[in-house]
Structures are given as structure tokens and as C-alpha cells.
Amino acid sequence: MPADDGFIMPAEYDRHYGCILIWPHRRDSWQNGAYAARKAFAKLIEAISRSEKVIVCARYEDYDSAREMLPENVRVVEMSSDDSWARDVAPTFVTNGHDIRGIDWGFNAWGGLYDGLYFPWDKDNRMARKLCDLLDKDSYDKRSFILEGGSIHTDGEGTLLTTEECLLGQGRNPSMTKEEIEEMLCSCLGVKKIIWLKRGIYHDETNGHIDNICAFTAPGEVVLAWTDDKSDPQYEISAECLDILEGSPDARGRKLRVHKMYLPEPVCITEEECDGLDNMNGEPTRIPGERLAASYVNFYISNGAVICPQFGDKNDGRAKELLASLFPDRQIIGIPSRDILIGGGNIHCITQQIPFFE
């Protein structure tokens, strides 16, 4: 187990070796054959590659497309996948300060046969081990425990954030108690304190991933997705999260400083966008007017930048200003990400950092 041999999950704002992404291809996730999504991915990948290595996994039939659209300094490797959510299917990397290893969690498409989003998911479930092989790094076999990388955030100093909505749901590990899940996380990730928020972003089809509602920006500091609109279902959820965060010291006894990160106005998918999506098993994957889980908290911290979703909303600039105040040593880069959001997640969901190793 990682905690027994000195390996821990570092914070995302710690130094990286690089980042993993998966080239989009699934036509019932990404509109119009993933063309628009690929352009958005390419902009994001270029921004990340300015300050750290980037590895992009592409299916055999998509390799040439990825290689043509991406900068030469980006490594493109052929690897099969069911979809493109690297945060959830790539390994969670742990480090002892000199080397890294990967944790190969089980993946069941966010809920398996209970409430998962697609079937089959066997290609995705093999990616963590393949990526450890690619990097020539050992892996821990935790495939019997269902966990997605988007469901956990850590400060690298012993504290982990997650949500009960996700990890205690019936689609993940229904035979385990909350205490048993805590023991698993502490043992595998080297954490001492878990702060459980109740719920994530309203209408988040991942069952409330933490990376869409709350994230560490420094030891003892977090951003929390927020709205002042009491008529919005998100208000009650975020207010509940705020109460928990303000009443939960971290593993080192610090009272958390919570920065409110105002959400965009509700983002809903259009009929035209729905028409660009293939059906899944004869049924549409999106309905016109459906609210998408848009949040600025779904940013990625690279070595040289914080790369933030932008929605063409009045709060786009406000989110970048907040990030600039919290990360004065990094460039703040906004990426128009609606074409990523239509797939079900955002910038953080499609990235997985690789910690630095010697």
C-alpha cells in the first residue's frame, strides 16, 4: 500500500513531470464527430505544453488526426479507450519525493450497471495499467475499488476533499461503509484527514465529483463554486458545503480559508448541439434545454499556468481575476470550453497530472 512505503498523493499545484489527455472520439459524447471538441482540446494541450510535458492517447483510427492538430513537442501515443476522461481513467499518481507510482483504481463509467453513463467500459478500465507501463512505473492494483480521479482532491499535506454523493453512492462500492472507504483512501493516498462535502454541482452526471465544486489552491485554502441566487438549486448545495468547510480544520489543524468562485449563469444545451450528437443504444444522450454542470472550479494547474474554463459569461473575467490573486506566480489562461462541457465535464476532467520524478 502506498501509505506504508512513503508514497503519497501530492497536490496538483506541486511540480509536475507532465500531463495525460485522451483524444476525443466518442460520437454520442462529442458533437459532430468530435470536431469542435478536438479544437478545444488542442488549445488546452498547447497551453499546458508551454510549461510541462504532455502525453495524448489516441485510438489507432484517430492517431493521424491528433498528430496533425497538436504541437510537435506533444507526445501522441496509440492507446484504445471508450471515451476521453483522463482524470477518471488514468492512474492516480503517488510519490515519495523521488519517484512515482500509479494507483490502478477500478472504473465503471460513473456507476456501472446501477447508474453508469455507458457500457462497455473495459478499454477505459485498462488505461491506468497501460499508462504505468508506458511511463515504466510500478502500479498498485486497486481495481476491486471503484474510484475516479475527479472524485478526490488533496493538499499534499494530509488532507483530502471528496463528496458523499459520489463515493457513498450505490454505483461505486455499495458493500463498503464510509469508514472502510476512508481507510482505503488514507492507506492508498497517504492522507490523514478526509473532509466530506455532501453534494457536488447541481445536475452533475458524475454523481457530484469534487473537482467541479471545490479545489485546493494552497495548503489551507480552497475555492468553492458559489451563487448568490437563492432560487437556484445550487445555492443550497454550496451553502451546505461552505458550512462544512468552515467547520472542518485540515489535517494540520488549520482553519480553511474559503474563496467563493462565482458560477456562470446556468448553461443549457441547445437543440442544434443535441442534433450533433449520436444516439446511444437508440436513445439521445442529451435533451435540448438540459442544464450542464458548468463551473470555473474545473480548472487545471500546470507548472506555469492555471488554465480555466470560459463560457462567454459575465463571470468569466471574475473567475480569472480570483485565480490570478491565488496564483500570482502562474499565468492565468482562459480556454473557451463549451464544446468540452457538452461531453459532460471540463478542463480538469480531461487532464491528469503526472508528479515530478527524478
- Cα 149 to Cα 110: distance, rounded to the nearest angstrom: 11
Peptide bond into 120 cis (omega under 30): yes
CA gap 23, 165 in Å, rounded: 29
Q: Which residues are catalytic?
A: 349
Starting at the edge strand found earlier in the chain, the sheet holding 221-226 runs 214-218, 221-226, 257-262
SS3 label, residue 315? coil
Strands (E), the chain: 16-22, 53-58, 75-78, 92-95, 100-106, 139-146, 153-154, 159-163, 193-197, 214-218, 221-226, 257-262, 267-268, 291-292, 300-301, 305-310, 331-336, 352-355
How many Å is the Cα radius of gyration of the chain? Answer: 19
What are the cell numbers at 174?
A: 455499495
